[in-house]
Amino acid sequence: MIVGLVVGFAAIAIAAVWYQFVRPREVPCAIDLEATQEHFHAHVALEGFEVDAGDEVLVHGTPSRIPLGAQIAFRSNATVRPASRLKRRWVKLTGGTEFHELYDVGFEG
């Protein structure tokens, strides 16, 4: 009984580490920001990396605000943390129920 619990906890610990373990990469990117009467958007195009389910992207050097009527395009770098296989499968499995996470976007200074 105790051996079974220890093996179970060990399996859970290994799965948790595997779920989180990835190597972040620095990737160049092009950023397009616009805050006009016609458009209000922020687009990022990563170079040399295709984003998939569960991947995390942090864009560096973006302004926290742009004035109304402005359109800015520039180049910067982004840190991409690819999802592990386990995390990618989990996100694809539960993705339909977690669509609200798409709104977790912000400009931080």
Helix (H) or strand (E) holding 66: none
Tell me if 78 is assigned to some domain: yes
Average pLDDT over residues 14-40: 83
Tell me if 87 is assigned to some domain: yes
Tell me if 61 is assigned to some domain: yes
- Is this model's pTM higher than 0.75 or not? no
pLDDT the model gives residue 59: 93
Tell me if 50 is assigned to some domain: yes
| Cβ(25)–Cβ(49) below 8 Å | yes
Dist CA 84 CA 82 (whole Å): 7
What total of structural domains would you count in the chain? Answer: 1
pLDDT the model gives residue 15: 67
Tell me if 108 is assigned to some domain: no
User: Is the per-residue pLDDT at 101 higher than 60?
Assistant: no
pLDDT the model gives residue 22: 67
State pLDDT tens for residues 13-24: 776 666 566 688
User: Is the per-residue pLDDT at 77 higher than 80?
Assistant: yes
pLDDT the model gives residue 109: 47
pLDDT the model gives residue 44: 93
